[in-house]
Chains A and B, each alone.
Chain A
Amino acid sequence: MSAITLKNVTKRFGDVTVIPGIDLSIEDGEFVVFVGPSGCGKSTLLRLIAGLEDVSAGVIDIDGADVTGTAPAKRGLAMVFQSYALYPHMSVAGNIGFPLRMAGESKEAIDKKVRAAAATLNLTDYLHRKPRELSGGQRQRVAIGRAIVREPKGFLFDEPLSNLDAALRVNMRLELSELHAQLKTTMIYVTHDQVEAMTMADKIVVLNRGHIEQVGSPLTLYNKPDNLFVAGFIGSPKMNFLGPTYAKEHGAATVGVRPEHIKISKESGLIKGTAGVAEHLGSDTFVHVHVAPDQMITVRTSGDSVLRHGDTVWLTPDEDRLHRFDAQGKAIR
């Protein structure tokens, strides 16, 4: 269990500054998700915390102790990699038991803990298999087993679900959330998938080009994005941004409105448009409406919508749910 604090953490690769200086505090037991587009520095930040990369400047604290120059092995953190990074020459039991072996525990203690971890992860029948004889989901479980077995101070996950198929991903997402509820250990999770971030996090850190754009709970980011980047990144389908004419009426440079906060009607409304593709998900329908030659607005409407391609429609944004941004892209509150 531990709190992790970053103070002005900076990373440069040669002349390229990847992370120009980040301050962040992660509370004990929190599930924190780093999210952002690829190349935003989220994985680098995780590797800095792990100690797999050296920081160029700044300080990393774990539980009040400065670990900036400490080797990864001595930081007490466990990591789950995107490729799982299992040891191919060891059995499942050997993989899960490896951190304990490195910690110098007795054979009996290792055996007992490996069995306990395998039982929680449904791996008991596979203990003697080699990683190549397992499915993707099982390999993922072994990687998690290897991380939990020595009761680390914190867990680091580097896009652990991106190699799994969609159905398995949803399952593992639940299992990881369940695991966090059980262990109550600090977890840092890196992903580019904002759905994973929204569903699992206590706190989301949105990164863009090495900067933190916003830190907050999933609903805070969703309801009160600090800037255009966060507004556009969080939420699926994406927030719609309306043009300068409409924005000026509301005293802003840009106005954003989420697809579920627009009323669509065939009779009357504020903005006239032509219905384009309608995506039927059963529970909802996403209608893509052309309102100008180069502008499209996505509207979320009920699952039984009967709009057809080419229909003329009228859109009315909910005035109370508008997000206003100034010329610099900052939210106006």
Chain B
Amino acid sequence: MARAVSTRRKITFTVIAWVIGIAIFFPILWTILTSFKTEGEAIASPPSFLFFDWTLENYTTVQERSNYFLHFWNSVVISLGSTVLGLIIAIPAAWSMAFVPGKRTKDVLMWMLSTKMLPPVGVLIPIYLLFRDAGLLDTRTGLVVVLTLMNLPIIVWMLYTYFREIPGEILEAARMDGAGLREEIIYILTPMAVPGIASTLLLNVILAWNEAFWTLNLTAANAAPLTAFIASYSSPEGLFYAKLSAASTMAIAPILILGWFSQKQLVRGLTFGAVK
């Protein structure tokens, strides 16, 4: 039986939710607003909220100074590339853990997760040296590889929880029907797990898109994604809030739009398959 909630309670909770929501979103909103101000208005005190001279000059300056589309394209290649490569490795891995678990499967899963607890900076120097010697510094290939490795534990874990929801008998039926391991994964498991794979893909694209540690440390000019593009505006030559804001807005816009259209999938992804 549903508990009756009084109108007053409802109003209170709605107001609290809105306040928290706005408080979290406010910095992003402020960044977007600032990107349309002149540098002078951007640091004016008291700041004006909506009533200022709206201008696009920051965007044109930013585009003149650095090639937005190169960084945008780098971000797309790196985030999609690392996610797709990760999925190709993780689907068979999650298959084996979900459907033919051994004595140590649980331990392997925990161990994989524990690698995420290592501070990345702890392995920066070895990886930097490896990249230098392999000629992978400032290449998109290098970043795809390193981000795949960083996000692989999460991808395997997410897929594992989704695969566990699929009844094993269906895969056995496929085996009886003459499917080999490859056919079983391609024709039965993957199509059945499409919602789960989609959430995993989305979440990991976003994680890779926002990843700043490796992308900043392993790139210079050629392979730098949007994170490096933003960072280049918090420069030692002085703070240019408006231009920094314009760069940030341009960097977050694609992922914000992607996130908006895939909210449902994302929520499912973030709850790790717990909510059906």
Partner of B170, one of A73, A78, A87, A102: A87
* Residue among A72, A103, A150 having the largest count of chain B Cβ atoms under 10 Å: A72
Q: How many A-B residue pairs have CB under 8 A?
A: 61
Instruction: Chain B residues near A50: list those with CB within 8 A.
Output: 176
* Residue among A52, A73, A156 having the largest count of chain B Cβ atoms under 10 Å: A73
Which residues of B (155-170) have their CB < 8 Å from a CB of A?
167, 169-170
Q: Is the CB of A52 within 8 A of B172?
A: yes
Q: Is A64 part of the contact surface with B, judged by Cβ < 8 Å?
A: no
* Residue among A89, A103, A146 having the largest count of chain B Cβ atoms under 10 Å: A89
Q: Render A74-101 as a binary contact track against B, CB cut-off 8 A, 1 for contact.
A: 0001110111011111000000001100
Partner of A98, one of B172, B177, B180, B192: B177
Q: Which residue of chain A is the closest to B103 with respect to CB atoms?
A: A14
- Answer whether A81 and B173 are a contact pair too, CB < 8 Å, given A73-B180, A99-B178: yes
Q: Is the CB of B191 within 8 A of A89?
A: yes
Instruction: Chain A residues near B178: list those with CB within 8 A.
Output: 73, 99, 102-103, 150
Q: Is the CB of A98 within 8 A of B174?
A: yes
Q: Is B175 part of the contact surface with A, judged by Cβ < 8 Å?
A: yes
Q: Determine how close the nearest CB of chain B comes to the CB of A132; give it in whole angstroms.
A: 13
Instruction: Chain B residues near A181: list those with CB within 8 A.
Output: none
CA distance A233 to B36 in the complex (A): 85
Q: Is B84 part of the contact surface with A, judged by Cβ < 8 Å?
A: no
- Answer whether A79 and B192 are a contact pair too, CB < 8 Å, given A73-B179, A102-B178: no
Instruction: Chain B residues near A271: list those with CB within 8 A.
Output: none
CA distance A71 to B167 in the complex (A): 20
Dominant SS among interface residues on chain A = loop
Q: Render A50-74 as a binary contact track against B, CB cut-off 8 A, 1 for contact.
A: 1110000000000000000001110
Instruction: Chain B residues near A103: list those with CB within 8 A.
Output: 178
Which residues of B (128-177) have their CB < 8 Å from a CB of A?
167, 169-170, 172-177
CA distance A72 to B181 in the complex (A): 11
Q: Is B216 part of the contact surface with A, judged by Cβ < 8 Å?
A: no
Q: Is the CB of A85 within 8 A of B175?
A: no
CA distance A86 to B176 in the complex (A): 12
CA distance A52 to B172 in the complex (A): 7
- Answer whether A71 and B169 are a contact pair too, CB < 8 Å, given A87-B188, A88-B192: no
* Residue among B169, B188, B192, B194 having the largest count of chain A Cβ atoms under 10 Å: B169
Q: Render A129-162 as a binary contact track against B, CB cut-off 8 A, 1 for contact.
A: 0000000000000000010001000001000000
Q: Is the CB of A85 within 8 A of B173?
A: yes
How many residues of chain B have a CB within 8 Å of chain A?
A: 18
Q: Is the CB of A81 within 8 A of B177?
A: no
Q: Determine how close the nearest CB of chain A comes to the CB of B173; give it in whole angstroms.
A: 4
Dominant SS among interface residues on chain B = helix
Q: Is the CB of B174 within 8 A of A71?
A: no
Q: Is the CB of B179 within 8 A of A77?
A: no
Q: Determine how close the nearest CB of chain A comes to the CB of B171; give it in whole angstroms.
A: 9
Q: Is the CB of B177 within 8 A of A99?
A: yes
Q: Is the CB of B172 within 8 A of A102?
A: no
Q: Determine how close the nearest CB of chain A comes to the CB of B184; give it in whole angstroms.
A: 9
Instruction: Chain B residues near A86: list those with CB within 8 A.
Output: 170, 173
CA distance A102 to B179 in the complex (A): 6
Partner of A87, one of B174, B175, B176: B174
CA distance A309 to B210 in the complex (A): 80
Which residues of B (164-215) have their CB < 8 Å from a CB of A?
167, 169-170, 172-180, 183, 187-188, 191-192, 194
Instruction: Chain A residues near B183: list those with CB within 8 A.
Output: 102
CA distance A85 to B188 in the complex (A): 11
Instruction: Chain B residues near A87: list those with CB within 8 A.
Output: 170, 173-174, 188, 192
Partner of A89, one of B167, B169, B175, B192: B192
Q: Is the CB of B169 within 8 A of A83?
A: yes
Q: Is the CB of B188 within 8 A of A79?
A: no
Q: Is the CB of A81 within 8 A of B192?
A: no
CA distance A87 to B169 in the complex (A): 10
CA distance A89 to B180 in the complex (A): 19
Q: Determine how close the nearest CB of chain A comes to the CB of B135; give it in whole angstroms.
A: 44
Q: Which residue of chain A is the closest to B183 with respect to CB atoms?
A: A102
Instruction: Chain B residues near A102: list those with CB within 8 A.
Output: 177-179, 183
Q: Determine how close the nearest CB of chain A comes to the CB of B104; give it in whole angstroms.
A: 14
Q: Determine how close the nearest CB of chain A comes to the CB of B243; give it in whole angstroms.
A: 50
Q: Is the CB of A79 within 8 A of B173?
A: yes
Q: Determine how close the nearest CB of chain B comes to the CB of A51; give it in whole angstroms.
A: 8
- Chain A residues near B (Cβ < 8 Å): 50-52, 71-73, 77-79, 81-83, 85-89, 98-99, 102-103, 146, 150, 156
- Supply 5 further A-B pairs (C-beta < 8 A) apart from A72-B175, A73-B176, A98-B179: A71-B180, A73-B178, A78-B176, A79-B173, A87-B174
CB<8 Å pairs between A and B, sample of 14: A51-B175, A52-B172, A52-B176, A71-B180, A73-B175, A85-B167, A85-B173, A86-B170, A88-B192, A89-B191, A98-B174, A98-B187, A102-B178, A146-B173
